[in-house]
Amino acid sequence: MNKIVRNALILTAITVVAGLLLGLVYEATKKPIAAVSEKNQQNAYKNVFEEADHFEAYTAFNETTAEEFTEASDYPDNTIVDAVVAKDKDDTDLGYVISVTSHTGYSGDLTLSVGITLEGTVNGYSLTSINETAGLGMKAEDKPFYSQFEGKDVDSFELTKDKVTKENQIQAISGATITSRAITNAVNLALSYFRSING
Amino acid sequence: MNTDSNENINTNTTANENADNEVEVPIADSVNTSSKANTAACIERIYNGVIKENPIFILLLGMCPTLAVTTSAINGIGMGLSTTLVLVMSNLLISLLRNIIPDEVRMPAFIVVVASFVTIVQFLLQGYIPSLYHSLGIYIPLIVVNCIILGRAESYASKNPVLPSLFDGLGMGLGFTVGLLAIGLVREILGAGEVFGFQILPLAENGRLGYTPITIFVLAPGAFFVLAVLVAVMNVVRERAEKKGRPLAPAAGCLADDCVRCAEKNTCSSGVVEFKDKKE
Amino acid sequence: MQELLIIAVGSAIVNNVVLSQFLGLCPFVGVSKKVETAAGMGGAVIFVITLSSFVTSCIYKFILYPKFDYLQTIVFILVIAALVQLVEMFLKKSMPPLHKSLGVYLPLITTNCAVLGVALKNVQQDYGILHGVVNGFFTAVGFTIAIIIMAGLREKMEYNNIPKAFAGSAIVLVTAGLMAIAFFGFSGVI
């Protein structure tokens, strides 16, 4: 009996020490991790809005209304995470960057930021979190696919598996229709949200 | 990672058999504290891990991460080095604590130590190498159940002094890294015509002659095929080595044996069983 | 409801735990010689994974989140290890017939990465308790489907003339690769 108590105590001690140590490391790495994700986010904004000098939080952004908007839209399986205003050096508005998380990726969620100018032209998207199949879904990060969205001023994008015939059509990544559709829908949601806030 | 406990066990038995001739050398050395002999023992540990008992090629251990993350060479190295770091740290700590940890609760204690280091490595990757963190994803925390780590803790670190244990972890980790790198290279070249992300085989496009990537090799089925060929090649090598009278260390993973049988052996998870039974 | 259905089909077939995520590969290769034992293993895995998804989801939701979520790996692995032992003891005492059919496989499951993998995935995907349990149950069903098919194939394969170097686990891996290709066919389902 005594031995069991001793063993249990030693094990508990090891676990407690390990837990405390982890807590310390967690605190110590919290800052770099936050910095990395912040930098990542800023890079994504910059990628989709090269002309912009800095980005400011869109003050009227509100998670509840954004959620209601998403529910009512044609693309309910997404979440609008954030919206920022892209500004130039003189603080003039250039457009918006809207970040959307899609819940319909092939292997889990994917998050992207879409840059849209005040005129409604899509500058492009930048993925901040993606975990799709290498060689298939991951091609969403490659130029042939993402460049299809760039510089287009359309009502909404439409995914096709055939040859692209219209301005708003996007050719799906071969073998990765699910990922392609998730991204197209996320961009579409960002576009319609942009319209709702830009009147 | 597809550790069924049996992998650990089998390692244990193999390493224990070897223990008689290998392990006692460093112990004797540490008594003499002859630094030269110590160095020799440490080098021997590294040689053992990388060549003689290479966890991937010879022991066929830890196949789960081997298949899952080797879609490219760089991912293979990343996974290998993360595992090495965990192995070295856990071997070091377990060796330090080997006289404190009671035998009956050694398995849960090892698991706690290993899981802590894995979480630490996870934070470090997340903070400092975010791209690797994202491409390895869920397989980082799954390093915990990689049988190599618990296997080394059980069969080597818990019985040997600190320095050789540290080098044992380093050797095994490097051997694992080399294996992952090799498999990653094969899959990347065949599947994408690239090495470390650089196109080395010009692709066929726009009517130009060139290489058409066999995409299947970066996908799940390709992983199985590459591993199948690896196992087949090792079967041949093993047979030749036996004919020459210099047999290789026996394979220890589940690829070598039937899982059912190891349930009856004194597996590492039954170590936990004993502990729980007594406690309750 | 639709969401649950998608999780179910997705985790059982489309993202099959063995064939596309390589989790639980060890029992998949080791215990797939006969359909009977494969089914036994499958049953044990379904039981353990469903239970552990429930327990780990609860622990995460009520204890770890949001303050201590960095402890998830260490807590999950310990909880799973303890849970398997408790289940084994419980079955031994109160349901000897079930223990007889599943008992051999239970110790094998403790360090099976599929169990920890599912627990971590539930957290990663932000699944609640219900979604987590559904995900766990169907992931395990996917494992069972894969291992039973594999066992069926291996029973037939025993009478085949396999090149010597490929005899044993190598040919099993080739078969697994072909099965993985076949399962790609399901990827259009969701």
In this predicted structure, the answer to whether residue B87 has a pLDDT above a threshold of 80 is yes
C-alpha B71/C-alpha A141 separation (Å) is 16
Tell me the pLDDT band of B27, cut-offs 50, 70 and 90.
Answer: very low
CA–CA distance, B148 with B11 (Å, rounded to integer): 8
* Region of A62 on the Ramachandran plot (φ > 0 left; ψ -120 to 50 alpha; else beta): beta
Tell me: pLDDT of B13 over 70: no
* Through-space distance between the first and last CA atoms of chain C, rounded to whole angstroms: 15
Q: Are C99 and C88 in contact (CB under 8 A)?
A: yes
User: Residue B278: pLDDT above 50?
Assistant: no
B147 touches chain C (CB under 8 A): yes
Q: Which of residues 52-111 of C touch A (CB under 8 A)?
A: 70-71, 74, 78
When mean pLDDT is compared across A35-44, B254-263, C76-85, the lowest value belongs to B254-263
B223 vs A: CB within 8 A: no
Residues of B in contact with C26 (CB under 8 A): 2-4, 6-7, 63-64, 253-254, 259
- pLDDT (tens digit per residue) in B38-75: 788 888 888 888 888 888 888 877 777 778 888 888 88
pLDDT bin (cut points 50, 70, 90) of residue B114 is: very high
Tokens representing B14 are 């193999």
Chains in touch with C (3+ beta-carbon pairs under 8 Å) read A, B
Range with top average pLDDT, B128-142, B210-224, C138-152, C165-179: C138-152
- Using an 8 Å Cβ cutoff, are B134 and B46 in contact? no
- Calpha distance A196→A116 (Å, rounded): 13
pLDDT confidence of B180, banded at 50, 70, 90? very high
- Check CB contact of C15 with chain A, cutoff 8 Å: yes
**A36 with B127: Cβ contact below 8 A:** yes
pLDDT at position B273: 32
Identify the pLDDT of residue B33. 53
Instruction: Compute the average pLDDT of residues B67-89.
Output: 91
B145 and C112 within 8 Å at the Cβ level: the answer is yes
Q: What is the DSSP letter of A152?
A: B
Q: Where are the alpha helices (DSSP H) in chain C?
A: 2-9, 25-30, 35-59, 72-94, 96-102, 106-109, 113-124, 129-157, 169-184
Query: What is the domain range of residue C95?
Result: 2-188
Closest chain C residue to A103, measured at CA? C125
With bands split at pLDDT 50, 70 and 90, how would you rate the model's confidence at A135? low
Whether residue A107 and residue C15 make contact (CB cut-off 8 A), yes or no, is yes
pLDDT of residue A122: 92
Residue C105: the pLDDT is 75
Instruction: Give pLDDT, residue C5.
Output: 87
Q: Give the pair of three-digit tokens for residue B143.
A: 């390093």
| B16/B26 Cα distance (integer angstroms) | 15
Taking CA atoms, C84 is separated from B114, C44, C79, C187, in Å, by 19, 10, 9, 33
Report residue B7 as tokens.
């992998």
Please give the interface size between A and B, counted as residue pairs whose CB atoms are below 8 Å apart: 75
State yes or no: pLDDT of B120 exceeds 90: yes
How big is chain C, counted in residues? 190
Using 50, 70 and 90 to split pLDDT, how confident is the model at C110?
low
Residues of A in contact with C125 (CB under 8 A): 108-109
Q: Give B-chain residues touching A7 at CB under 8 angstroms.
A: 102, 104-105, 275, 279
- Tell me the average pLDDT across C143-152: 94
For chain B, state the CA radius of gyration: 20
With 0-12 CB in 10 A as exposed, 13-18 as middle and 19+ as buried, what is B243?
A: exposed
CA separation for the pair B101, B222 (Å, rounded): 43
**B253 in contact with chain C, both atoms CB, cutoff 8 A:** yes
Q: Specify the pLDDT at position C181.
A: 92
Contact C74 A107 (CB under 8 A): no
Residue B166 has pLDDT above 70, yes or no: yes
**B279: contact with A, CB 8 A cutoff:** yes
Tokens 């972890």 sit on residue:
B169
Which string of DSSP letters, residue by residue, matches B196-256?
TTEE-SPBP-TT---B---GGGGSHHHHHHHHHHHHHHHHHHHHHHHHTT-PPPPP-STTT
Please give the full DSSP string across C134-161, using - where no structure is assigned: HHHHHHHHHHHHHHHHHHHHHHHHTTS-
Residues B225, C168: C-beta atoms closer than 8 Å: no
Provide the percentage of residues in chain A whose pLDDT is more than 90: 26
pLDDT (0 to 100) of residue A196: 87
- pLDDT, residue B233, reads 92
Residue in chain A closest to C11 (alpha carbons) equals: A107
If pLDDT is split at 50, 70 and 90, which confidence band does B215 have?
confident
Please tell me if residue A171 touches chain B, with a CB cutoff of 8 Å.
Answer: no
Question: Which of residues B70 and A109 earns the better pLDDT score?
Answer: B70
Considering only CB atoms, C73 lies closest to which of B141, B220, B236, namely B141
Using CB atoms, list chains with 3+ pairs below 8 Å to chain A. B, C
A135 touches chain B (CB under 8 A): yes
Euclidean distance between CA atoms A58 and A52, whole angstroms: 15
CB A54 within 8 A of CB A33: no
The answer, yes or no, to whether residue B276 has pLDDT greater than 90, is no
Tell me the per-residue pLDDT of A1-36, one tens digit each, with 9 for 90 and over. Answer: 688 888 889 889 998 999 999 999 999 998 998 998
* C2: its two tokens: 């639709």
Does the CB of C21 have a partner CB in chain B at under 8 Å? yes
At residue C28, the pLDDT reads: 86
Domain count within chain C: 1
Write out pLDDT tens, residues A61-77. Answer: 888 888 888 888 888 88
pLDDT of residue A199: 63
Res B16 pLDDT > 60:
no
- ∠ CA C91-C94-C100, nearest 5°, is 45
pLDDT beyond 80 at B139:
yes
